């Protein structure tokens, strides 16, 4: 597996991954995350244009997609709890993996790649996203509290991992 920046040519595959992820979450008891087609294509197009969208590929097949930036996240300014530190950090959003056996481990690969790029990473997830909660725990992310996403005014569980 390798990580590269997402291109506009990747959009059909990326949007299918997100559609499949929405269905998978709903089937797993998480029907309220990523509603109304979120993340919508204009958001992903903006991420691509900004150079902040990445795909995990193997043998030219896209296995996962995610947003990564090393910049402050406005939704993380207020937290019910406390961050591990106030140092500059990387932030991961919109991470999803393709369906199928060949994509197993792609989410872990993506998060490890992000941590290799910056040794202080923050991420949030929905309380009902059991798969992501398990993955974050497995990879050593620490639950820091609850944040509210500014753009949709909804709670998320906030995590941080530091070296």
Q: What is the CATH number of the domain that holds 125?
A: 3.40.630.30
CA nearest neighbour of 55 among 119, 113, 100: 113
24 confidence band (pLDDT: 50, 70, 90): confident
**What's the rounded mean pLDDT across residues 53-80?**
96
Give the pTM: 0.93
**What's the rounded mean pLDDT across residues 10-37?**
87
158 confidence band (pLDDT: 50, 70, 90): very high
What mean pLDDT is reported for the chain? Answer: 94
Handedness of CA 5, 155, 109, 72 (dihedral sign): positive
For residue 36, pLDDT beyond 80: no
Report the percent of the chain where pLDDT is more than 90.
82
Question: Residue 96 in 3-state DSSP?
Answer: strand
The encoded tokens of residue 114 equal 């992000």
Question: Residue 17 in 3-state DSSP?
Answer: helix
Query: Can you tell me the distance from the alpha carbon of 98 to that of 110, in angstroms, rounded to the nearest whole number?
Result: 13
The encoded tokens of residue 129 equal 């996203």
Q: Are 56 and 109 in contact (CB under 8 A)?
A: yes
| Omega within 30 of 0 (cis) for the link into 51 | no
Question: Residue 4 in 3-state DSSP?
Answer: strand
For residue 93, pLDDT beyond 90: yes
Range of the domain at 130: 2-162
Q: Count of domains in the chain?
A: 1
């Amino acid at each position: 597996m390798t990580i590269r920046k997402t291109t506009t040519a990747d959009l059909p595959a990326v949007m299918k991954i997100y559609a499949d992820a929405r269905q998978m979450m709903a089937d797993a008891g998480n029907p309220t995350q990523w509603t109304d087609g979120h993340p919508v294509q204009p958001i992903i197009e903006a991420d691509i244009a900004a150079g902040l969208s990445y795909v995990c590929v193997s043998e030219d097949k896209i296995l996962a997609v995610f947003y990564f930036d090393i910049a402050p996240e406005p939704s993380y300014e207020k937290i019910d709890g406390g961050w591990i530190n106030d140092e500059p950090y990387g932030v991961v959003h919109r991470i999803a993996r393709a369906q199928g056996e060949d994509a197993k481990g792609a989410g872990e690969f993506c998060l490890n790649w992000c941590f290799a790029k910056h040794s202080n990473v923050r991420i949030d997830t929905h309380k009902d996203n059991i798969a992501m909660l398990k993955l974050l725990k497995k990879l050593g992310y620490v639950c820091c509290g609850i944040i509210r996403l500014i753009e949709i005014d909804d709670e998320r569980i906030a995590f941080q991992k530091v070296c």
